[in-house]
Structure 1
Amino acid sequence: GLAGCATAASLAARGWRVSLLERHAGLAAEASGNPQGVLYLKLSAHGTALSQLILSGFGHTRRLLEQLHRGVDWDDCGVLQLAFDAREGERQAQLAAAFPPELLHLVDRDQARQCAGIDVAQGGLFFPEGGWVHPPSLCQWQATHPLINVLTHREVLELDRVDDQWCARDGERVLASASVVVLAGAAEIKRFAPSADLPLKRIRGQITCLAQTPASQALATVVCAEGYVAPARLGEHTLGASFDFNNQDLAPTRAEHAGNLQRLREISEDLLQRLDADTVAPEHVQGRAAFRCTSPDYLPIVGPLADREAFAQVYAALGKDARQVPHVPCPWLPGLYINSGHGSRGLVTAPLCGELLAAWLCDEPLPLPSVVAEACHPNRFALRALVRGKSQASKVQS
């Protein structure tokens, strides 16, 4: 998907030979396989590490997309985020005050109608450089580098280290071996012992696809509220997406199609009618489901991985006093890196995180502020666990 292909592309651009192992018949067959993903900035007005990552990642992805076919692979048609309730309106006002208007700006209802080309019930926040992307096209383009060897139908079940080589196996058979491995398989990386403790969660999401009509061609920009709808790509609009924390089945459901249609109604009753979707039965529409992969703090997990048990021993002093950081080398697992946990923001965060990993591996200056890179680091969870252990012990004593 996006994380794996981005990492492979960033390394290949620096001269690395990369074997890209894909368990399906082709790339981008899971969460990165949707026909349209929304490219926009879900920011905080307070300059958080996540906001800094999103801001930098947005610009990086936009530059990459210039290499692709506008209108088929992507379109910078803009994104309109409706102020669907008072709380959202307040959040948008704070953002508009914190960022330059060429990046995002408030629009009233009439202006929102002009941007969208359809009737909407509210104004909102407009991102003029946002739009939609066909993620498989981005993945395919990134994987075409001559130093990347795409190996399909290769499902890695085990990962072990022999001498100075990591070996990816599907049982007895070695699928590939190398001194460096990057785990970029979303929550599936928890199947491997070194990364099994990472707190990654799968969240099911389902999209609904509706055929373009002559009347729906008026839709000029992506429009979002609780869900989203995009202008048509190759004659088809994408609606989405559901969030289901419990269902582990990828078969599309009637209930979630109905939910997406209801979200479309909340976005624009006008567009619902233009698409003839006010009378369509949910069981008669098409779509697909996939699993997003997210972390507890919503930041991706990117960087080198340490030996969890050795880390806890080496830095045990942090459990007594979090201010006293021992000057001891971290017990890294040699050549093992992670690029996962991008949630629903992978279009914005995954490509830049591929660059971040490549910079680490090539000993280059990082493409992000060190505070942002540290916020994404895999070790953050083990570090917090040590500090929490200290604080919990203090509470018990008191």
Structure 2
Amino acid sequence: GSASAASLARRGWQVTVLERHAAAAQEASGNPQGVLYLKLSAHGTALSQLILSGFGYTRRQLERLQRGQDWDACGVLQLAFDAKEAERQGKLAGAFEHGLLHALQRTEAEAVAGVALPAGGLFYPEGGWVHPPALCQQQLQHPGIRLVTHQEVIELRKVADQWQAWAGERLLASAPVVILAAAAEVRRFDACAGLPLKRIRGQITRLPATVGSRALRTVVCAEGYVAPPRGDEHTLGASFDFNSDNLAPTVAEHQGNLALLDEISTDLAQRLGVATLNPEHLQGRAAFRCTSPDYLPIVGPLADAQAFADTYAVLSRDARQVPQAPCPWLGGLYVNSGHGSRGLITAPLSGELLAAWVCGEPLPVPQGVAQACHPNRFALRRLIRGK
């Protein structure tokens, strides 16, 4: 939401951001540290292209923030924790430039990380950690943006050329353009009800830094991740729970995160005094990731679902057809959602992609990437598969 607002405000739009909480960045974006990590494919997929472009765009945005407090380009080390991961990393090391990522043997990895490790891995020297609330707040500080808190939109109505946001009988705002940027909650609106978004609960654990743990110099990832300290604490995480809707941190998931830490570095676990910590007294935070089935975000204009199915019904009989009928757009209605655990890398650039759609500009990513992120892709697939 903040990325979309910033991209539009830079183009001269007056933007009102309706936030249901008391401040911005209160859900998944409220974690103390998020990892700037490129999960790539050696095959040049649309997702890899988006991640590469988004990584560069986010890194340029972060230069405006206070390094060490709001972010740090300390690098990210992905451990080769088993043979399959080592094979995957070998392919990546051969597919990308050394300056973006390169393989490290165990002793080299330990020298970079500052702690003992069970294996070497891939090092991303330009990666690091980000304090997501600082990035959101920086994006929202444009004079063309008005943040209005404690405003939960229940319904959208189209009246003439204006979209109206309503909370029961109360009109919250109206505008010719609306961007739905509420993670999986966008499905409460009819235009997004058919989007196959999924919520995944994740819990992080906050660990007090010690004299010994401050030796950690880079983010280290295996099945989980641990970051160098921000201030006086490390962030450790993050769990994956596909079933729970409860956002209260649990002791069991703190224990699971501590087990992930032991897999990353027994040495670091000892430096943090994990054996003496009572999981019941640990501080943490839980939030929902929002993902799509193909792991790409959902960014772009929205169409009328039933009219779309009727207009392009021929595709259910012959997918080779190229219908000439124009798409039945819901004029002025857009979505930016489904960023999963990659939002720090994909959301800022997706704000630019969305603004380009709104303003009729050349798109900031290749056409194939924009199409791969387009909301219509799911309706199109359903038609072609005859569902």
TM-score range, shorter chain: over 0.9
Give the AA of the match of 2:39.
Answer: K
Which of the residues 17, 35, 40 maps onto 2:32? 35
Kindly indicate whether residue 273 of structure 2 is the aligned counterpart of residue 276 of structure 1: yes
CA distance in 1, matches of 2:157, 2:376: 20
User: What's 1:383 paired with?
Assistant: 380
Once the two structures are superposed, residues 209-231 of structure 1 have per-residue CA deviations (whole angstroms, 9 ceiling, x without a partner) of 00110011100000000000000
User: What's 2:62 paired with?
Assistant: 65
Kindly indicate whether residue 42 of structure 2 is the aligned counterpart of residue 45 of structure 1: yes
Whether the aligned pair in 2 keeps the contact of 1:317 and 1:325 (CA below 8 Å) is no
Give the AA of the match of 1:239.
Answer: L
User: What's 1:123 paired with?
Assistant: 120
Q: CA RMSD in A?
A: 0.6
User: What's 2:338 paired with?
Assistant: 341
CA distance in 2, matches of 1:192, 1:386: 22
Aligned-partner SS, 1:209: strand
User: What's 1:182 paired with?
Assistant: 179
Aligned-partner SS, 1:330: coil
Aligned-partner SS, 2:5: helix
CA distance in 1, matches of 2:172, 2:233: 38
Whether the aligned pair in 2 keeps the contact of 1:315 and 1:325 (CA below 8 Å) is no
Which ranges in structure 1 are unaligned for 5 or more consecutive residues?
Answer: 393-398
Once the two structures are superposed, residues 123-147 of structure 1 have per-residue CA deviations (whole angstroms, 9 ceiling, x without a partner) of 0000000000000000000000000
* TM-fit CA distance, 1:279: 2.5
Whether the aligned pair in 2 keeps the contact of 1:96 and 1:106 (CA below 8 Å) is yes
CA distance in 2, matches of 1:65, 1:252: 29
* TM-fit CA distance, 1:278: 2.2
Which ranges in structure 2 are unaligned for 5 or more consecutive residues?
Answer: none
CA distance in 2, matches of 1:238, 1:308: 42
User: What's 2:217 paired with?
Assistant: 220
Kindly indicate whether residue 16 of structure 2 is the aligned counterpart of residue 19 of structure 1: yes
User: What's 2:76 paired with?
Assistant: 79
Residues matched between the structures, number: 387
Aligned-partner SS, 1:278: helix
User: What's 1:55 paired with?
Assistant: 52
Give the AA of the match of 1:224.
Answer: C
Aligned-partner SS, 1:345: helix
* TM-fit CA distance, 1:245: 0.1
Percent identity, aligned pairs only?
71
User: What's 1:396 paired with?
Assistant: none
Q: How does the TM-score come out when normalised to structure 1?
A: 0.97
User: What's 1:266 paired with?
Assistant: 263
User: What's 1:91 paired with?
Assistant: 88
Aligned-partner SS, 2:385: helix
Give the AA of the match of 1:193.
Answer: D
Give the AA of the match of 1:292.
Answer: R
* TM-fit CA distance, 1:193: 1.0
* TM-fit CA distance, 1:162: 1.1
User: What's 2:350 paired with?
Assistant: 353
Whether the aligned pair in 2 keeps the contact of 1:103 and 1:129 (CA below 8 Å) is yes
Whether the aligned pair in 2 keeps the contact of 1:181 and 1:337 (CA below 8 Å) is yes
Once the two structures are superposed, residues 34-67 of structure 1 have per-residue CA deviations (whole angstroms, 9 ceiling, x without a partner) of 0000001000000000000000000000000000
CA distance in 1, matches of 2:169, 2:380: 35
User: What's 2:294 paired with?
Assistant: 297
CA distance in 2, matches of 1:209, 1:285: 7
Q: Show the 5 A alignment for 1:231-270.
A: 231-270=228-267
Which structure 1 residue ranges, 4+ long, deviate > 4 Å from structure 2? none
CA distance in 2, matches of 1:320, 1:80: 49
Once the two structures are superposed, residues 3-55 of structure 1 have per-residue CA deviations (whole angstroms, 9 ceiling, x without a partner) of x0000000000000000010000000001000000001000000000000000
CA distance in 1, matches of 2:54, 2:18: 25
Give the AA of the match of 1:92.
Answer: Q
Whether the aligned pair in 2 keeps the contact of 1:190 and 1:197 (CA below 8 Å) is yes
Q: How does the TM-score come out when normalised to structure 2?
A: 0.99
Kindly indicate whether residue 18 of structure 2 is the aligned counterpart of residue 8 of structure 1: no
CA distance in 2, matches of 1:365, 1:193: 29
Kindly indicate whether residue 72 of structure 2 is the aligned counterpart of residue 109 of structure 1: no
User: What's 2:328 paired with?
Assistant: 331
Give the AA of the match of 1:136.
Answer: P
* TM-fit CA distance, 1:84: 0.4
Once the two structures are superposed, residues 51-100 of structure 1 have per-residue CA deviations (whole angstroms, 9 ceiling, x without a partner) of 00000000000000000000000000000000000000000000000000
User: What's 1:157 paired with?
Assistant: 154
Aligned-partner SS, 2:382: helix
